[in-house]
């Protein structure tokens, strides 16, 4: 899986795709966004940010809300995060597999762009450095990565 970046809107998604290398980027929604913002909005952001020749995926985080995860699958999401401890996880995983999607039991390590000012060179350099990592580093799940 390519490095993940938590995006909160179109500007962040575009910045992540602009900085992505040949490995691409995983655009990850905010925690629980599937339950409060909806999958259609997030999938629209991912589609609008797409750049020719830049590999990317979108993953919507549904926290512990199986209904939101199922709605995300119905909306066309191909990668959904649902907490593994959710009692309905197995049923939602089966539904995901049935439509060719993947269900992740936890958020992958990511750099949260909501904590950066993408107008600052230092923060853009931090994004570029994160996307250049060969593999996510231990402890990288903190909001400031």
Q: Is the dihedral of CA 107, 110, 115, 119 positive or negative?
A: negative
Return mean pLDDT, the chain. Answer: 91
pLDDT-derived band at 140, boundaries 50, 70, 90: low
Check pLDDT > 50 for residue 35. yes
92 inside domain: yes
As a whole number of angstroms, the distance between CA 137 and CA 145 comes to: 9
CATH of the domain at 124: 3.20.20.70
Using the predicted structure, report yes or no on whether residue 144 has a pLDDT greater than 50: no
- Residues spanned by the domain of 43: 4-132
Q: What is the pLDDT of residues 115-130, one digit of tens each?
A: 999 899 999 999 999 9
The count of domains in the chain is 1
Locate tokens 């995060």: which residue? 81
**Please, what is the end-to-end C-alpha distance for the chain in angstroms?**
18
């Amino acid at each position: 899986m390519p490095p993940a970046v938590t995006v909160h809107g179109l500007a962040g998604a575009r910045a992540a795709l602009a900085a992505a290398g040949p490995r691409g980027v995983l655009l990850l929604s905010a925690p629980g966004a599937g339950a409060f913002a909806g999958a259609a909005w997030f999938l629209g952001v991912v589609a609008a940010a797409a750049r020719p020749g830049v590999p990317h995926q979108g993953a919507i985080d549904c926290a512990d809300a199986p209904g939101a995860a199922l709605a995300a699958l119905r909306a066309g999401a191909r990668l959904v995060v649902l907490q593994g401890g959710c009692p309905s996880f197995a049923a939602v995983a089966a539904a995901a597999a049935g439509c060719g999607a993947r269900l992740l039991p936890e958020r992958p390590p990511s750099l949260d762009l909501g904590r950066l000012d993408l107008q600052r060179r230092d923060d853009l350099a931090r994004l570029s450095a994160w996307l250049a990592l060969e593999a996510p580093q231990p402890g990288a799940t903190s909001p400031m990565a």
